[in-house]
């Protein structure tokens, strides 16, 4: 899947939270209906079978409860995509990334081959991939580091049929793992005062093997990765350094496709978050949309908010000549580069782990469905056993009574007349996000005070059940607000589109 990811360290965020967020985009020419659900331990499989690769994996006992954003229509697997578990550990999987021929030749991808196509007539089982990863990892980890370690072992054991980048998060750390070929991997900790932008290509630039094979403070990797590099002549540095290894040059790509599809997105978002630290435009620019050396991580010029996360993941090159909705600049540049906010986005999730509230209410998922240029973020508590029907009951057929399809309809209508519909969209986004913050503040206070006064003689199970019920009730209030505002926005853009049709036909009753 073609996606864009942003990772925000705790000292780079506005409130000390760690935040990981990703657009989940469907393949070109298709849509993938999504829903937001909770997977309780009794619903987690003990033997997992991949639909796409047919690999079977025995899973540990006693999984944790976790949230997920799976496909709403059965057929090609779960694709759980993003979630938070009961230990307040979050995961986003995955960002499809790139590699190069040397890596893929040295460690080929583990692809499924049906019996009728196999040379020996026997089915060849494939590795694990985006379809599988959240289900295989998130219910069994209690820190971001544990997520890296568990997924690393799975990649080494079963292999993968695709290149992927995966984010793991707890309240203190964010780790980013990138697969390398069929069985290898590397991971780097996001510095606390930095953010990371990942646009569908292998991104880690500097890697420290000394740390990875020593303290593992900021780097981890497959146990034979350095040997793999040396054996296959992957180090392209003129002066080799194991503590300052150029991983992007060794394992990644810098193709013409990257320069139209991937690097422009990193350029646009760092241009927004660091507008004065570098020159981004003109003949003397430090970085351009086709630069291969845009840093993997960077200290922002100001702390990053949830609203910033939503804006960057909705970006379509506003303020540049490349904006497909723009009405300025050289027309030949319009739509030249792949935007981030596109009409085939399935959902975006920003997973926020807050350090200043009780653990029971620390995890918040900001969710939006369909095209980010026209949808809105809304916050929900993650420590629940059920999610509101407005987000959980997505159907395969178009139905404006659920959030996914209402959002998809708004995007389809607004895209056709951007300039006239965008005032309605901005009003909708402000209405939902401001009320979302207001309701979070209200419920944080109410539930937080209750937790402080909880009868400590009550059983732990009763206390947990009580808090979970309150959080589920709070989510229902938020969903009710969301549905009301979404229906209003849909009516407004539908009215605008209808008026345009009347004008086009030159009659008032068209």
Q: pLDDT tens, 279-332?
A: 999 999 999 999 999 999 999 999 999 999 999 999 999 989 999 998 777 788
- The reported pTM is 0.95
Catalytic residue list: 3
* Mean pLDDT rounded to a whole number for the chain: 94
In tens, the pLDDT along 2-43 reads 699 999 999 999 999 999 999 999 877 788 999 999 999 999
Q: Which residues pair with 18 in a beta bridge?
A: 353
The pLDDT of residue 28 is 76
CA 128, 130, 131, 132 torsion-angle sign: positive
Q: Phi and psi dihedrals of 479, rounded to 5? A: -65, -35
H or E stretch including 483? Answer: helix 460-505
Q: How many whole angstroms separate alpha carbon 205 and alpha carbon 219?
A: 12
Q: How many whole angstroms separate alpha carbon 20 and alpha carbon 18?
A: 7
Q: Is the pLDDT of residue 462 over 90?
A: no
Q: How many whole angstroms separate alpha carbon 265 and alpha carbon 271?
A: 10
User: How many CB atoms are located within 10 Å of the residue 57 CB?
Assistant: 16
In tens, the pLDDT along 218-255 reads 999 999 999 999 999 999 999 999 999 999 999 999 99
The string of DSSP codes covering 304-346 is BPHHHHHHHTT-S-TTSTT-TT--SS-GGGTT-S--SS-TTEE
Q: Considering just the CA atoms, what is the radius of gyration of the chain in Å?
A: 23
C-alpha torsion 34→296→105→119, nearest 10: 0
Count CA atoms closer than 13 A to 279's CA, side-chain side: 6
Q: How many whole angstroms separate alpha carbon 26 and alpha carbon 130?
A: 13
Measured CA to CA in angstroms, residue 79 lies from 24, 68, 392 at distances of: 10, 9, 15
Q: How many whole angstroms separate alpha carbon 357 and alpha carbon 370?
A: 31
Q: Is the pLDDT of residue 427 over 70?
A: yes
Q: Which of 44, 18, 100 is nearest to 309 (CA)?
A: 18
Q: Which of 36, 116, 28 is nearest to 69 (CA)?
A: 36
Confidence band for 510, pLDDT divided at 50, 70 and 90: very low
Longest dimension (CA), the chain: 75
Q: Is the pLDDT of residue 460 over 70?
A: no
Q: pLDDT > 70: what percent of the chain?
A: 95
Q: How many whole angstroms separate alpha carbon 212 and alpha carbon 219?
A: 5
Confidence band for 509, pLDDT divided at 50, 70 and 90: very low
Confidence band for 260, pLDDT divided at 50, 70 and 90: very high
The pLDDT of residue 499 is 72
Q: Is residue 393 a contact partner of residue 35, using CB atoms and an 8 Å limit? A: yes
Measured CA to CA in angstroms, residue 506 lies from 251, 367, 473, 509 at distances of: 59, 40, 50, 9
Q: How many whole angstroms separate alpha carbon 179 and alpha carbon 335?
A: 31
The pLDDT of residue 60 is 97
Q: How many whole angstroms separate alpha carbon 380 and alpha carbon 269?
A: 26
Q: How many whole angstroms separate alpha carbon 376 and alpha carbon 234?
A: 44
Confidence band for 458, pLDDT divided at 50, 70 and 90: low
Helices assigned H by DSSP within 219-369: 225-231, 247-251, 256-261, 263-273, 306-312
Count CA atoms closer than 13 A to 265's CA, side-chain side: 28
Q: How many whole angstroms separate alpha carbon 150 and alpha carbon 133?
A: 10
Q: Is the pLDDT of residue 503 over 70?
A: no
Q: How many whole angstroms separate alpha carbon 390 and alpha carbon 331?
A: 41
Cis amide prior to 505 (ω within 30 degrees)? no
Q: pLDDT > 90: what percent of the chain?
A: 88
Q: Is residue 177 a contact partner of residue 148, using CB atoms and an 8 Å limit? A: yes
pLDDT average, residue stretch 341-351: 94
């Amino acid at each position: 899947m073609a996606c864009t990811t942003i990772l925000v360290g705790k000292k780079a965020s506005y409130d000390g939270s760690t935040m990981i967020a990703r657009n989940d985009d469907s393949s070109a020419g298709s849509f993938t209906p999504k829903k937001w659900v909770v997977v309780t331990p009794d619903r987690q499989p003990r033997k997992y079978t991949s639909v796409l690769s047919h690999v079977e994996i025995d899973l540990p006992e006693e999984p944790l409860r976790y949230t997920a954003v799976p496909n709403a229509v059965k057929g090609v697997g779960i694709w759980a995509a993003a979630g938070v578990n009961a230990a307040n550990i979050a995961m986003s999987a995955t960002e499809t990334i790139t590699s190069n021929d040397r890596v893929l030749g040295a460690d080929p991808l583990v692809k499924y081959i049906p019996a009728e196509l196999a040379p020996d007539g026997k089915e060849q089982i494939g590795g694990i991939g985006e379809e599988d990863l959240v289900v295989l990892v998130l219910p069994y980890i209690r820190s971001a580091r544990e997520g890296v370690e568990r997924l690393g072992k799975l990649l080494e054991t079963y292999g993968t049929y695709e290149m992927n980048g995966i984010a793991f998060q707890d309240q203190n750390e964010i780790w980013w793992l990138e697969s390398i070929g069929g069985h290898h991997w590397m991971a780097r900790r996001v510095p606390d005062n930095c953010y990371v932008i990942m646009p569908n290509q292998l991104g880690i630039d500097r890697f420290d093997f000394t740390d990875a094979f020593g303290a593992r403070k900021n780097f981890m990797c497959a146990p034979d990765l350095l040997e793999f590099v040396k054996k296959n002549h992957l180090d392209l540095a003129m002066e080799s350094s194991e503590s300052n290894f150029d991983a992007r040059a060794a394992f990644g790509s810098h193709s013409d496709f990257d320069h139209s599809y991937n690097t422009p997105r990193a350029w646009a978002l760092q241009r927004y978050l660091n507008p004065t630290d570098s020159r981004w435009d003109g003949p003397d620019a430090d970085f351009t949309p086709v630069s291969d050396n845009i840093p993997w991580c960077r200290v922002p010029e100001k702390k990053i908010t949830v609203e910033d996360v939503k804006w960057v993941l909705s970006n379509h090159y506003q303020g540049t000549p490349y904006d497909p909705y723009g009405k300025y600049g050289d027309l030949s540049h319009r739509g030249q580069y792949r935007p981030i906010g596109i009409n085939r986005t399935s959902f975006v999730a920003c997973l926020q782990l807050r350090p200043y509230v009780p653990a029971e209410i620390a995890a918040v998922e900001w969710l939006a469905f369909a095209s980010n240029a026209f949808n809105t973020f809304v916050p929900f508590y993650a420590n629940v056993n059920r999610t509101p029907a407005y987000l959980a009951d997505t159907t395969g057929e178009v139905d404006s009574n659920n959030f996914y399809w209402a959002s998809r309809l708004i995007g389809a209508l607004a895209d056709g007349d951007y300039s006239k519909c965008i005032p309605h969209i901005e009003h909708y986004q402000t209405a939902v996000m401001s009320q979302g913050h207001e309701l979070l503040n209200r419920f944080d206070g109410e539930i937080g005070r209750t937790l402080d006064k909880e009868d400590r003689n009550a059983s732990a199970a009763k206390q947990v059940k009580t808090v979970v019920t309150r959080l589920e009730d709070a989510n229902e209030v938020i969903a009710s607000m969301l549905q009301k505002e979404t229906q209003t926005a849909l009516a407004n853009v539908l009215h605008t589109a209808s008026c345009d049709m009347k004008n086009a036909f030159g009659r008032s009753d068209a």
